[in-house]
Structures are given as structure tokens and as C-alpha cells.
Structure 1
Amino acid sequence: MRLASYNVENLFDRAKAMNQSDWAEGKPILEKFAALNALLGELTYTAEIKKKMVVLMNDLGLRKSDTGPFVILRRNRGKLLTRPQDGGEISITAEGRADWVGSLELRSAPVDETAMLLTAQVMIDLRADILAVVEAESRPALQAFNSEILPARKGTPFEHVMVIDGNDERGIDVGLMTANAFPIDTIRSHVDDKDRAGAPIFSRDCPEFAIPLSNGETLLVLVNHLKSKGYGSKGSSDARRKAQAERVKAIYQQRVKEGETFIAIMGDFNDTPDSQTLAPLLKETDLRDIFTHEKFDNGGYPGTWGSCTASNKIDYILLSPALWEKVKQGGVYRKGMWPGVRPAKWETYAELKKPVNAGSDHAAVWVELDI
């Protein structure tokens, strides 16, 4: 059996702010989007909040219209604001969230066609029986990609495809694709797990997929995409990521108490193995990172994202002790990643001519188990 994890960075459409050629260009947009969304959610709009809203709306290109270059302000009912016909400043007329119905959304744009096809090629070449997918738009999108794009590259579609909508309004969810011999039996979502303040713990979700095996055992797969470092303060991002790791640890330990032995936790954890934020998982459980197995080949680079340096090791397959003993081999697949230039760091697909053509900024991680 082969397990793999791959951050596909969306399949067909991607938020325009996240689709910039340089991450530094999109990061400020996402930060302002998040800040404005938070203010719009306040129960009461004070004079100071209204002032901040106007500044952020101007920065996001909403001064003259509800449609900016990267965001859309949807106003369904009630009254949030007025725009003077003479082109003057926006005036926030609502006194709180209850005064209007609507939302702030990121605008999407199609993913580069070559990038889309190379994402499919990576999925095919991984030859995974069970593939954890990070940053899929939705189950319909992932199923369409599976049934239309994989065959277009002469690949065999997965038999089972599942994504549960998570907490991320940008449409970047986590899911699982499995071959015919590995049906998904039950699914348990943690999208509604809350912290002490009543806020959702997981940025997306931490779904548990139970997969019955032919030998009578059950493989439990948890897929996650922990809080990124992309926007928000370092302190708040680190705190949330650590809280997420703590919750995954608790879920894992509870399943062990219930008698589960074959458990794999996979996905993009957005931090390095030596980080304090991932310590609950990597240092306080008996889970082990496949990168540390003697039969694992990292392909000459310690990381999984960007330039694949040690500081960019953020994608994981963690295995319980019973699965660790079943490892036959494992590795990192980078052919769909931009390799840099002068010289190129690794072999790529022939179609990958420029960074925008890359299937993903992430490598795929895989492991073969003797099960």
C-alpha cells in the first residue's frame, strides 16, 4: 500500500491574491482581507472600527465599487455603507453586523493550464493507493479533476473522492482520494471543534477517514492543513498552529485508547520539525515523521516547499508505531515543482518552463507500507 500527501494549491480556480507570481505581492492583500472581514463581523461598529473599515476598503479597491481587483463585497440586504456620487469617502452607515446581510469574498481566477495538467501528472506518477489532498476547492472540483483531468493525462481515476467543506472561506479544503481496494468506510469531521473562547480550532478541518483493510485491520487517516505563516502576526499564527497541533495530538491519543493501531496523520503543517508549535505532535506522542525513517530518501534536499531547504520542511506523513514497522520505502516527489535556475535543483517535467507552470510550490511526500 502506498500513502501520499500533496498540497495541490487549488485545482481549477484560485484566489487572485494567492495567484500572484510573487507571494510578497499577495500577502498584504490577504492580510487586509482578513482584517476587514474581522471588523465586518463585529457586533457593534464603533467610530474607530468604521474608520479602519474605510481605510481597508480603500486599500482593497472598494472605494468606488463593491467589486475590487481582488475582493468582492456582497451586500444582500440591509445597509452597510454609502458612496457619495461626487467620489468622496465611503461612509459606514451600519451600526453593527446585525444591520446588514452579506459577505466579503476573495475573487478567483483560473489556474495556469500547464500547472493544472502537471498537478494531475504528479498525482498519477505518485501511484498512491491513498492520497491526502491539501487545498482542494471542493469535492465537486476534486471529483471533476479526478474524472476529467487525470484521464486526459492517461491516468486512472481514484475510485473514492471525499472533501468536507472546512472553515477557510478561500476555498482551500483538505480531502482524501483512494483506489478501489481502499474504500472510505466512515468519516469524522472536526470542523466544529472549538477553543476556550468558542472559536474554531482548525483553519480548515481535521477529518478522520477510516479505511478497512483486507487483513481485517482498519487504517485511520487524519488529513490536516495547519495555520499558515502567510498573514496575521507571528505570535497569533504560532499560537493557533500550536493549539491545532495540541488538538490533533488529543484526537490521536483518544483513538489509540480506543484500540486503533494503524494511524497516519498527513498534510501541510506549515512549520518545521524543530518548531515549538509542532512539538505536541512530534515530541509528545509516539508518532514518527517518515522523513526520519532509515528507508526514506529525501532526494538530496531536506525540505518540501519552495527551495526545499530545511527551513521549508512543512509537509508531513506521521505514522503510528504499528505503521512505522511496516515501512518498505518512502520519498519526496518534486518533478512538478519549480527547480530554480543556475543550476536547476532537481529534474522536472518538460512542460515546466516557468514558475507559473508549476503544479504546486510543494513537493509530494509518499511512503510504501507492507500491508
Structure 2
Amino acid sequence: MKIAAFNVENLFDRPKAFNLDDQAKGSAITDAVAEINMLVNKDEYSAADKARMLDLIRQLQLTSPNPPFAIFRKIRGALWKKPKNGPLVIVAEGRADWVGWVELKTEHNNATAVMNTGRVIKAVGADILAVIEAEDRVALKQFSEQVLLKLGGDPYDEIMLIDGNDDRGIDVGLMVTNGYSVGLMRSHIADMMPNGQRVFSRDCPEYEVITPTGERIWILPNHFKSKFGGNDQSSVNKRAAQAQRTAEIYERLRGEGQDKIVVLGDLNDTPDSVALKRLLQQTDLKDVSEHSDFSPGTFQGIGTFGTGNNANKIDYLLLSPALFARVKSAGLFRMGVWTASGRWPMFPELEKPIHAASDHHLIWVEIAD
């Protein structure tokens, strides 16, 4: 049984703001979209709310014929009005006065990069694959049925993705094949923090996977709060809350008598971080990168992002003790990641950075039956 996790950074379409070389600018754009959507969803708009909306509208250039990074969607009613001889004004008094929202503009991924993503997945051949930053279930299904098939691979038999809390099209999904099937499912998109915010930036779904021999394994894909554009205390606190809740979900499953559990995905922080302590150090989960049979490949760093240095370890495959005891081999697959210095072999089709399948290195484990 081979299990893997791969942050594909969107399969076909990606928010334009994510592709900016200036990460701070990209983060400012995504934060502005999130903030204006939060403001417009209020029941009543205060004077301060309206003033801030106007700032964000100007920042995102929403009144221009072709805004560069975001789109204003208006279904009915009006949020603002532009008098002939005066400045823009917010005319809605609250959510009930109009229907609409702001969304990030997307652009197609490079075609070679899409195929290289398929090459990574085909080469690894995982029976159970957690996919991070997939647009939606339809995109995952199309990718499996079209890209993998075009590369001479077999499409995955079952594909599941529950839309999460992120409105930018970066959800977590699951693909299974070779006689494996998905049983029970449970979402945690509605789990709340004491401050009234949702815990998970995306979701921490629980998937019961049934093996060809009838074993039942619980898979918990995850994608914690990003450091994209900065890592302030609120971001650290958010990841800490996500680690706390994931640990609680894991411990609940253990308390219910489940001993075959996998927590995996992009946790966006390092093993020594304060944010991940509750999950990594205060549960009995075992990190496959610490197994004696773990191999990072020709480059010996255990980092899972970018240059692969140890400080770049942010993707994880964590096993309950019963599964960790059955590990046959584990490692990182790097051939879809760009390296200018030749740290690892790349696909021949990966001729420049834009052709990279992802900035993340796929992490995998093979478990004895």
C-alpha cells in the first residue's frame, strides 16, 4: 500500500495574485479580497465599514473596466454609486440591500507544468493520494481522466473533494485506486475557534479508506494557514489552532478504537515550530521522514519545498504507531520541482521554472500489507 501527499498548487487554474514575483503584493491582494468580502457580508454597514470598503475598492481597482487581480460580481442591487460630479460612494446600508461578492481572477497554468504534475503522480503510483490545492472535484476528475490517461497512466477510481473555507480554489482532496475505496466521510469546515473564526483555512476532512483486503484506514488531509506574504502572530496562532484541532480529531479516532490513521499534507511550518507542537510532539503520531528507511533521494535535505533544505520541511506524512511499524520504505519525489543548481534530476520536459509541477516535493510511504 503506497500513500502520498502532494501540493499541486492548483491543477489547471491559479489566482493571478499567487503568481506574482512580489509575494508581499500578492498577499496584500488576497488579504484585500478576503477583507472586503468579510465587510460586505455584515448585516449593517457602519461609516467606518463604508470608508474601508472604498479603500479596498480603490486598492483592487474594482471600478475599472478590467481589474488586474479581482472581479466584482453583482447579482442584484448596488453596493456603490459613482455620481457624475463626485467621488464613489457606498449606497448599500447592509447585506440585505444587494447580492454580490469579490473573487480573485485566475489564469491558466502553463500546459507543460500541468503535464509534469501528471508525470509526478504517474511516476509515484500511489494507491491513496492526498492532493493539496486542488480547485474542486471536477478539476481533479478531469485531471485524472485526461492528463493521466494522455501520459499512459490509469485514472484514479474514486475521487473525493469537499469544498472548504477558502474561496480561492485551493482545497484538499483524495484520490484512490487499485481496489481501494472511500467509505465514511466527515468534514470539519464548521469547527470554530473561541474568537468566532473557523479553525481550518480549508478543511481537515476525515476519509475512511477501505483497502482491497478489507482494512479500514482513516486519512486526514490538511493544508494549514500559509506564510505567504508574511508570518505575523495571527498566522502562527491560526496554525496552532489548526494543529490543536487536528490532534483532537486524531485522538478522538484513537479513542474510538481506530489504530490505522494518517495525517498528511502541507502544514506550512517546520518540525520545531511552536505552532505544530501540539500535533507533532504531543500525540503518538510518527513522521515518516524519521523512519530509518526514509530516503530523500540524491539530495539529502529533508525539505519538502523549494530548494529542499531542511529548513524547508513543511509537508508531512504522519502515521499512527500501528502503521508506522509496517513502513517498508518512504521518501520524497523531486523530479517535478525546478532546481537551477542540479540538486536532483528533473523531468526532461522541465526546461525552466514555469514548467515545474509544483514548488512542493511529493512525500510518500509504502506500508506492508
Q: Provide the rounded CA distance (Å) in 1 between the counterparts of 2:84 and 2:233.
A: 42
2:54 aligned with 1:62, yes or no?
A: no
What is the RMSD computed on CA atoms of the aligned residues? 1.6
Matches within 5 A, 1:12-27: 12-27=12-27
Deviations 1:265-306 (A, max 9, x none): 111001111111111110110001111111101231121111
> What amino acid does structure 1 have at the position aligned with 2:19?
N
1:31/1:232 contact within 8 Å kept:
no
Match of 2:160 in 1: 162
Match of 2:89 in 1: 91
With normalisation by structure 2, the TM-score equals: 0.95
2:224 aligned with 1:256, yes or no?
A: no
1:63/1:89 contact within 8 Å kept:
no
2:197 aligned with 1:193, yes or no?
A: no
Q: CA deviation at 1:22?
A: 5.0
Q: CA deviation at 1:64?
A: 3.1
1:63/1:90 contact within 8 Å kept:
no
Q: Provide the rounded CA distance (Å) in 1 between the counterparts of 2:301 and 2:22.
A: 23
Structure 1 gap segments, 5+ residues each: none
Structure 1 stretch 159-168 or stretch 12-21: which is displaced more?
Answer: 12-21
In structure 2, which of residues 116, 120, 129 is the aligned counterpart of residue 122 of structure 1? 120
Match of 1:275 in 2: 273
Q: CA deviation at 1:75?
A: 1.5
Match of 1:336 in 2: 336
List structure 1 runs of 4+ shifted beyond 3 angstroms: 21-25
Deviations 1:65-115 (A, max 9, x none): 4x51111111112221012346x5321112222322111111111111010
Q: Provide the rounded CA distance (Å) in 1 between the counterparts of 2:193 and 2:273.
A: 22
Deviations 1:282-336 (A, max 9, x none): 0110001111111101231121111222222110000000001000111101111
2:76 aligned with 1:77, yes or no?
A: yes
Relative to structure 1, the CA distance from residue 359 to residue 21 in structure 2 (aligned partners, 3 Å threshold; closer, same or farther) is: farther
2:26/2:229 contact within 8 Å kept:
no
* Partner-residue secondary structure (3-state), 1:186: strand
The alignment-based identity, stated in percent, is 45
Q: CA deviation at 1:207?
A: 1.0
> What amino acid does structure 1 have at the position aligned with 2:252?
Q
Matches within 5 A, 1:186-335: 186-230=184-228, 234-299=232-297, 300-335=300-335
Q: CA deviation at 1:168?
A: 0.6
Q: Provide the rounded CA distance (Å) in 1 between the counterparts of 2:42 and 2:230.
A: 18
Match of 1:3 in 2: 3
Q: Provide the rounded CA distance (Å) in 1 between the counterparts of 2:328 and 2:201.
A: 33
Match of 2:144 in 1: 146
How many corresponding residue pairs? Answer: 367
Deviations 1:33-85 (A, max 9, x none): 223223223333222222222122111112334x5111111111222101234
> What amino acid does structure 2 have at the position aligned with 1:139?
R
> What amino acid does structure 1 have at the position aligned with 2:328?
K
Match of 1:30 in 2: 30
Structure 1 stretch 359-368 or stretch 88-97: which is displaced more?
Answer: 88-97
Match of 1:362 in 2: 360
Relative to structure 1, the CA distance from residue 51 to residue 233 in structure 2 (aligned partners, 3 Å threshold; closer, same or farther) is: farther
Q: CA deviation at 1:24?
A: 4.3
1:305/1:314 contact within 8 Å kept:
yes
> What amino acid does structure 1 have at the position aligned with 2:154?
T
Structure 2 gap segments, 5+ residues each: none
Relative to structure 1, the CA distance from residue 98 to residue 233 in structure 2 (aligned partners, 3 Å threshold; closer, same or farther) is: farther
Q: CA deviation at 1:232?
A: 7.0
* Partner-residue secondary structure (3-state), 2:129: strand
